């Protein structure tokens, strides 16, 4: 009888170690799924609890920003290139705060900046990067034209694989 019990415990330990190894190997891709499941479960649980809002348990910080997953559209009416460069840099930092800093592990388009009017002068990639360097931020990739000279739409996106903010 003891032999059967010890064998069962041994199989259980082997199975447990195997599961941990599998999760460890594919953990970087499973982690976002687990976080999404946990956030959805927590929101659902909060919704059905018969408690006043102020008494319900809070959500972890990585769940608070999921929202509806939509893109925030920002209209920029300014024509001054310095102000436009500053706003692009500010929205890059804001995207980093809600995605990269929390290490969400998923790509996300945070903002669409719409320039309604032609800038007076060129809006340059280098000037936006200088604004970001003032804040000690260098995790950015510029994937659009080096200069912006007309009305257009600019995307601010987090790339989870490279862990950088992209201006597209």
On whether the CB atoms of residues 140 and 166 are closer than 8 A, the answer is yes
Task: Count structural domains, the chain.
Answer: 2
Tell me the residue range of the domain where 36 lies: 2-60
* Mean pLDDT within 79-85: 91
Q: In this structure, are 161 and 99 located in the same domain? A: yes
Q: In this structure, are 47 and 83 located in the same domain? A: no
What mean pLDDT value characterizes the chain?
80
Final residue before a domain boundary, out of 16, 33, 60: 60
pLDDT of 80 strictly over 50: yes
Q: At what angle do helices 81-95 and 125-134 cross, to 10 degrees?
A: 60
By mean pLDDT, which of 61-75, 90-104, 151-165 is the weakest? Answer: 61-75
Q: In this structure, are 115 and 156 located in the same domain? A: yes
Q: In this structure, are 80 and 108 located in the same domain? A: yes
Q: In this structure, are 32 and 72 located in the same domain? A: no
Tens of pLDDT along 87-107?
999 999 999 888 876 666 778
| pTM for the whole structure | 0.61
């Amino acid at each position: 009888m003891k032999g059967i019990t010890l064998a069962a415990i041994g199989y259980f330990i082997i199975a447990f170690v195997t599961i941990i190894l599998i999760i460890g190997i594919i953990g970087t891709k499973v982690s976002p799924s687990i976080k999404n499941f946990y956030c959805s479960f927590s929101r659902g649980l909060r919704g059905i609890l018969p408690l006043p809002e102020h008494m319900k348990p809070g959500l972890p910080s990585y769940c608070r920003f999921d929202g509806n997953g939509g893109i925030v559209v920002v209209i920029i009416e300014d024509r001054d290139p310095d102000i436009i460069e500053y706003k692009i840099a500010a929205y890059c930092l804001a995207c980093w705060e809600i995605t990269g800093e929390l290490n969400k592990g998923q790509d996300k388009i945070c903002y669409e900046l719409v320039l309604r009017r032609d800038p007076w002068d060129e809006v340059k990639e280098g000037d936006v990067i200088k604004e970001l360097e003032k804040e000690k931020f260098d995790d950015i990739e510029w994937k659009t034209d080096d200069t912006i000279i007309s009305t257009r739409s600019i995307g601010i996106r987090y790339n989870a694989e490279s862990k950088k903010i992209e201006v597209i």
